[in-house]
């Protein structure tokens, strides 16, 4: 089976992790954590980074640090992972779903404008499948931006790391992401107050001066030193990981271009092409297509559903998301993929298109 995801682990990762396992205790118990956070902040060109249990924890911390809660609204795109809507619900606020753009598949600033109310406390854009949300356009609304950059590690927006222009941003190193630590994530900000508040709340609200003295009900979204060792090695190899993802995309593009819509980010974005993705023409049944590929040993993923479609929410009229989410497919994009495998996937896709009697309409 050719899988959709796959990581790249070398001797460097093994070396750091073994060192953390053997020696990362006692006085050295935070060494890799602190190093990982420091190098991450440096990479981002930002002041503060807190390694977390996952991207979800980093998003959650952002909301708590901004004191967002009951009666507040947070704007999120329909096409994202439900980590976004979950954390908004968990702090007692209301997620407000908006449509996406047809080309980048990220949040549509025009629709954001229509959905802003007196209660809106933040915008939570997601950088989806290698595209970057248009933060410059969102900045015009003068609302805090909590960026879900979970999939965007290594991507650039106007030449800066994606996430660097937000008030806070969240990254994920879950096993399918470009950089992995098993599970894990990162919270970043330039704002000292938000950072200090996030640190405090992430330590169960413990007093900064009196050990084991709790001042507020808190959280604990922490990463382990061993995971940080893995993360540090992955961060140091990031250019290599991005290069491979971009190569995979270009292999796909050279074979599929003209037949189907691929993820082409905005011209101001340097994509990490986390997942090469396609939008099937509406004459093709997505489930049949994915099943037919599976028969050939090719694993694919459907796009995330528009979140408002879940019965726990009220379905929104978001025509672009409802079209793209329901016809989108993530192709195998693991870091171990070979050109031969990509060619095999492309051969299979094109063969299926001809079997379905689908003529290129893109």
Ligand X SMILES: *Cc1c(COP(=O)(O)O)cnc(C)c1O
Interface with ligand X (CB under 6 A): 54-56, 80-81, 83, 126, 148, 150-151, 172, 174, 183, 185
**270 beta partners:** 156
Burial (CB count <10 Å: 0-12, 13-18, 19+), residue 324: buried
Q: How far is the CB of 38 from ligand X (least distance, A)?
A: 21
Residues near 66 by beta carbon (within 8 Å), at least 6 away in sequence: 121, 122, 144, 146, 167, 168, 194
Q: Closest CB to ligand X among 256 and 329?
A: 329
d(CA 75, CA 126): 11
Q: How far is the CB of 186 from ligand X (least distance, A)?
A: 10
Q: How far is the CB of 157 from ligand X (least distance, A)?
A: 16
How far, CA to CA in Å, does 305 sit from each of 151, 311, 323, 328? Answer: 17, 12, 10, 10
Q: Closest CB to ligand X among 87 and 346?
A: 87
Q: How far is the CB of 104 from ligand X (least distance, A)?
A: 14
The DSSP secondary structure of 230-277, one letter per residue, reads HHHHHHHTHHHHHHHHHHHHHHHHHHHTTTSEE----TTEE---SS-E
Q: Closest CB to ligand X among 87 and 298?
A: 87
Q: How far is the CB of 210 from ligand X (least distance, A)?
A: 32
Q: Closest CB to ligand X among 123 and 349?
A: 123
Q: Closest CB to ligand X among 78 and 353?
A: 78
Residues near 162 by beta carbon (within 8 Å), at least 6 away in sequence: 127, 132, 147, 149, 152, 155, 156, 169, 269
The pair of structure tokens assigned to 235 is 């961060």
Q: How far is the CB of 172 from ligand X (least distance, A)?
A: 3
Q: Closest CB to ligand X among 134 and 148?
A: 148
């Amino acid at each position: 089976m050719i899988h959709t995801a796959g990581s790249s682990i070398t001797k460097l990762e093994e070396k750091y992790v073994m060192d953390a396992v053997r020696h990362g205790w006692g006085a050295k118990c935070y060494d890799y954590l602190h190093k990982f956070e420091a190098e991450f902040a440096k990479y981002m060109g930002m002041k503060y980074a807190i390694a977390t249990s996952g991207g979800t924890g980093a998003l959650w911390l952002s909301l708590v640090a901004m004191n967002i809660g009951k009666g507040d609204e947070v704007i999120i795109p329909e096409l994202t992972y439900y980590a976004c809507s979950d954390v908004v619900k968990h702090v007692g606020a209301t997620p407000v779903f908006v449509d996406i753009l047809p080309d980048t598949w990220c949040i549509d600033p025009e629709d954001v404008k229509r959905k802003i109310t007196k209660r809106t406390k933040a915008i939570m854009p997601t950088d989806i499948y290698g595209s970057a949300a248009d933060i410059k356009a969102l900045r015009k609304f003068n609302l805090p931006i909590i960026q879900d950059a979970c999939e965007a590690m290594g991507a650039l927006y106007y030449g800066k790391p994606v996430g660097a222009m937000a008030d806070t941003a969240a990254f994920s190193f879950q096993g399918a992401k470009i950089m992995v630590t098993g599970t894990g994530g990162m919270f970043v900000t330039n704002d000292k107050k938000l950072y200090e508040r996030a640190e405090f709340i992430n330590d169960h609200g413990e007093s900064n001066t009196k050990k084991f003295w709790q001042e507020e009900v808190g959280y604990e979204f922490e990463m382990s030193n061993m995971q940080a060792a893995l993360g540090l090695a992955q961060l140091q190899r990031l250019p290599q990981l991005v290069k491979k993802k971009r190569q995979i995309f270009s292999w796909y593009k050279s074979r599929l271009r003209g037949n189907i819509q691929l993820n082409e980010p905005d011209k101001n974005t340097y994509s990490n092409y986390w997942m090469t993705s396609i939008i099937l023409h509406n004459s093709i049944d997505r489930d049949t297509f994915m099943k037919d590929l599976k028969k050939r040993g090719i694993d694919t993923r459907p796009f995330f559903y528009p979140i408002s479609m879940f019965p726990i929410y009220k379905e929104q009229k978001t025509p672009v998301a409802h079209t793209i989410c329901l016809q989108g497919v993530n192709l195998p994009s693991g870091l171990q993929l070979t050109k031969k495998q990509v060619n095999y996937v492309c051969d299979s896709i094109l063969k299926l298109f001809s079997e379905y009697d689908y003529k290129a309409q893109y």
